[in-house]
Structure 1
Amino acid sequence: MALYPRFLAVLAAVALTSTLAPPAFAQRSQNPNEPQATEGSGGRANRGRSERAPRGPSPERVRADVQGHLTALGNTCQISEAKLLGQSADANKTSMYEIACATGPGYILLGSTPPSATDCLVLAASAQQTRARDPEADVGTQCTLPANDNAQAVFASYAKEAGMDCAIDGAAIVGAASDGAIVYEIGCAGTEGARIQKSATGWTRSSCFELASVNTACRFTTPAELAATLKGWLAGSEAANCDVQQSRFMGQNANGVFYEASCAGADGVIVRFNAEKAVQQVYPCATAQPIGGGCKLTTTPPAATPEA
């Protein structure tokens, strides 16, 4: 899925001119044999005079400009550092900045009309996708401020906001939703992970169990972690002794949410849970055919043929 295609196209089109200020004074070389200029009645002579080099805007000016652009965007970043990267070579002289924020990701910001910004995590993910296709490809401007090397902390913060209480062992941007919201995948050590995205009303979460049921595999959640998750949900129920080997999400209806488990050395089960994952009913595979088409992970032997 494309990541902020409009911004990235504009970003690629910006030809930066250097903003590194030369020394405050660019001194002409002095030849001891060359006559020195003197001040005449017509005014001060220019030869031999130190010439002041052009200087970039002050850090205070850069911060003020960046704050104005962020305000226009409705972005609540509390600026901890702002750096002017350059200006476009065209007549518009569009400025580009890198910003670090007190919390959350930093941004590459274009001071265009209107301004636009993309967070550093999105740019890094786009670069990774591009390099996967062509290791020698130009991936454009990337965030370089040390404070913006904080991807794992940002992912952990997002996971907590989305209600994920686990030890994170992997995280990445995996694309964008149809409304443009960035989709993140979060992996949890030893248990089920999820994909999360933020909307105007808060975070939404899609479990890796549910994603697997529509043939979308989570990168950071293994089948063994899914099985361990389901095993944990069975604690205290009549299926607690099931040593879960395989597991699958089957769907839900007005009565609850249904999962199948295959059990080592025993008949598998289909289990109905409520929204809080408390077990409501257990159906042995031998009698569970009416439940969503029955068990798929456990092969139930046919009934024995009566002797003549």
Structure 2
Amino acid sequence: MNKSLNRTVVALSSALALTALTALPALAQDNTGTGHGPASSQSPISAPSSRVTPSRMDRQRQNRESQRRAPAAPTPEEIQTAAQGLLVATNTNCQITETKLLGQSAAKESLYEVSCASGPGYLLLDSAAPAATDCLTLAASAEAALARDPNADVGSQCTLPANDNAMAVFTAFAKEAGVACTVDQGRIVGAKSGGAVVYEIGCAGVDGAQINKAGAGWEVVNCLELASAGASCTFTTPQEQAATVKAILAGSDAASCDVSQVRYMGKNANGAFYEAACNGADGLIARVNTENAVQQVYPCATAQQIGGGCKLTTTPPAATPNT
């Protein structure tokens, strides 16, 4: 997890040694029946039942004073109003569907949990510097901490049932980002230097992607591109990537290629380039446009000048013309 992302999570966890909300104390009970403590074995005297002893009166007066000093528990309306104010203060977009006051620290900093009509829920810290951290980020941080140390203190986590919605959130984010696939897995990868959270999206049967919110839109990098830069996606297999390029080649001069391996070679002003190894046939390099439509196909036997040539297919050197 990126250090900048962790600082917010740590702030929530370490700032709050949560205590239960103060409850109204019950009236003290005298179990001896006398109000004077244990009866003397030499002269057992029972007070008349109609008489209240001074010591009991003192205790009742103390209890009433304690009740007056204890603050009244906030109403649901007050809790929601406070949470809404924190959303505004932290510039967090959330249409609240449920709110919960989790507790208060010794420094009187309150912690709230909210669920939202769409997207992840949040933990909201009411402090001198209000903070909002989404439930997906908290869960990812906890998972990473427990992987390092099964006994780690992972701090406060989201508990509202409506916030157990990670797959729905990943699916919605993928749709917003234009990743056209059936989402079957997702996770938080980390965060960019500016704080944007990066998500990995796993797709059923095809290449996945990493996405992050960028201003009013989304940045998308597919897993084939990431592999060319030495990175990898947890949820995407080589078979899914081969199926993706096979679908790109459909309808082109290379449609007959039974794709077994693929690699992304990069792009220039003319388009993006993919190499495909073909079962039982020569491999090829395909150039595609921004809509992934094939513009040109280069057989590996003659593609030595295209990005250094094919790497997945072994080809004999080009024949030297007779002189």
Same fold (TM over 0.5): yes
What residue ranges of structure 1 are gaps of 5+ in the alignment? 39-44
CA distance in 1, matches of 2:147, 2:58: 57
Aligned to 1:4, what secondary structure does the other structure show?
Answer: helix
CA distance in 1, matches of 2:154, 2:29: 41
Q: Which residue among 198, 206, 220 is the counterpart of 1:205?
A: 220
Aligned to 1:192, what secondary structure does the other structure show?
Answer: coil
Partner of 1:180: 195
Deviation at 1:33, TM superposition (A): 3.4
Deviation at 1:78, TM superposition (A): 1.2
Q: By percentage of residues, which structure has more helix?
A: 2
State whether residues 109 and 125 of structure 2, in contact with CA within 8 Å, keep that contact through their aligned partners in structure 1.
yes
**Aligned-pair identity (%):** 57
Distance change in 2, residues 1:15/1:281 (3 Å): closer
State whether residues 16 and 109 of structure 2, in contact with CA within 8 Å, keep that contact through their aligned partners in structure 1.
no
State whether residues 92 and 132 of structure 2, in contact with CA within 8 Å, keep that contact through their aligned partners in structure 1.
no
Aligned to 2:101, what secondary structure does the other structure show?
Answer: strand
CA distance in 2, matches of 1:11, 1:164: 33
CA distance in 2, matches of 1:120, 1:18: 21
Amino acid at match of 1:156: T
Deviation at 1:139, TM superposition (A): 0.9
Amino acid at match of 1:271: A
State whether residues 19 and 84 of structure 1, in contact with CA within 8 Å, keep that contact through their aligned partners in structure 2.
no
Amino acid at match of 1:290: Q
Q: Which residue among 142, 157, 169 is the counterpart of 2:172?
A: 157
Amino acid at match of 2:81: A
Deviation per CA, 1:212-255, whole angstroms, max 9, x where unpaired?
10011111110110000000011111100000000011111111
State whether residues 3 and 126 of structure 1, in contact with CA within 8 Å, keep that contact through their aligned partners in structure 2.
no
CA distance in 2, matches of 1:184, 1:177: 11
CA distance in 2, matches of 1:280, 1:77: 44
What residue ranges of structure 2 are gaps of 5+ in the alignment? 36-50
Partner of 1:63: 80
Deviation per CA, 1:243-268, whole angstroms, max 9, x where unpaired?
00000111111111111000001000
Greater CA deviation, 48-57 or 123-132? 48-57
State whether residues 301 and 318 of structure 2, in contact with CA within 8 Å, keep that contact through their aligned partners in structure 1.
no
Q: Which residue among 122, 125, 128 is the counterpart of 1:113?
A: 128
Q: CA RMSD in A?
A: 2.0
Show the 5 A alignment for 1:1-308.
Answer: 1-2=2-3, 4-22=5-23, 24=24, 26-30=26-30, 32-34=33-35, 35-36=51-52, 46-48=58-60, 51=64, 52=67, 54=70, 55-90=72-107, 93-302=108-317
State whether residues 36 and 47 of structure 1, in contact with CA within 8 Å, keep that contact through their aligned partners in structure 2.
no
